[in-house]
């Protein structure tokens, strides 16, 4: 009788151990899947930022300002402090 009771307890512990292993494995796999999905979303976001950054990097700002009387672009020479036509 004592031996039979001991086998039942061991069988219950064995089943609990299997369930614990399954639960831990499930948690780990869910965590890995979530991190994979977030990495994919992050890569897409970074790819969009890089393409937008290259467009902005290619933009060359215009020098000076437009003189409304003449319609030409004017810049101020830092040495002489006089207005100079750029184009």
pLDDT for 55 equals: 53
Structure tokens at 8: 């039942």
pLDDT for 73 equals: 86
DSSP 2-40: HHHHHHHHHHHHHHHHHHHHHHHHHHHHHHHHHHHHHHH
Range of the domain at 16: 2-85
In the chain, how many domains are there? 1
Q: Could you read off the pLDDT tens digit of each residue along the chain, which spans 87 residues? A: 555 555 566 666 666 688 888 999 999 999 999 999 999 888 888 876 655 555 555 566 677 788 888 888 888 888 888 888 886
Contact between 77 and 85 (Cβ < 8 Å): no
Helix/strand/coil for 69? coil
Which pTM value belongs to this model? 0.41
């Amino acid at each position: 009788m004592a031996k039979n009771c001991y086998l039942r307890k061991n069988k219950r512990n064995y089943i609990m151990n299997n369930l614990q292993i399954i639960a831990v494995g499930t948690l780990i796999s869910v965590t890995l899947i979530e991190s994979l999905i977030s990495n994919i979303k992050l890569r897409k976001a970074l790819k969009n930022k890089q393409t937008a950054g290259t467009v902005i990097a290619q933009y060359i700002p215009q020098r000076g300002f437009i003189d409304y009387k003449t319609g030409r672009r004017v810049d101020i020479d830092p040495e002489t402090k006089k207005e100079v036509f750029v184009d």
